[in-house]
Structure 1
């Protein structure tokens, strides 16, 4: 076991490396991808499932602020172009296998993380005052009482080959 930026394995140790809904918490994503590439054998595969930020700056800023407010361990949801650059820089062929909207039920989302009440109120206000672009892109819905019911995060399955 080790952290993603300093994997305790020899070079070319693995045929497959996976990462599931964790990369947006890595303090140094570039270093982590370098480590993944280092421990992969030639022809080895990297599979990543994670949230990603849309390319549009307004949407990127919104989703990253939303997630960081709820969970301070959130570092950054990278855009797909950032992922492509990172993998390519580290000698990995980049391919998007699948993209989808990941539905999030607001109440469950804040309860799972133990989000304090005052932070929940900030999240509610952030969703209520989201621009029309953010509301449409993240499919923000509201209950009859005006509070957020649900939204979606953008998710992707990426395939990198060394």
Structure 2
């Protein structure tokens, strides 16, 4: 009888501890190390510092006016999925700019060495090159010029510090 209670207790602990709520295809249980998803997050600002991804601003681009793509080996344009993330706040830190956000571009950049293109409205397409270090977007080059990471926030905000900031 004692052995049955021990077995039931072990099964209960394992059942509770190893729920797959984080990543159903990952490690042995929820406490297993998970892999950080890779992404590109880019804010686009005007010369006057305005948010060009916020439709309320003059001269801003709506999602329909933005194309993110690459050309395959046959020269055919292939669309890359992206979303426009809204401005946000974390604790006392406020990030007032919308961001172009894509996980697909980073997975493509890890697997193939392509130049990607970003077309904003009627402007000429911008050539994007990503340098990846594992799952981290280490560097973003636009038309062969390095785009800086966001620097307007405290040092402890990792997510905001991983947003690239393009000034047009």
Give the structure-2-normalised TM-score: 0.26
Give the structure-1-normalised TM-score: 0.27
- Structure ranking higher on relative contact order (CA contacts 8 Å, 6+ apart): 1
Please identify the structure whose Cα radius of gyration is greater: 2
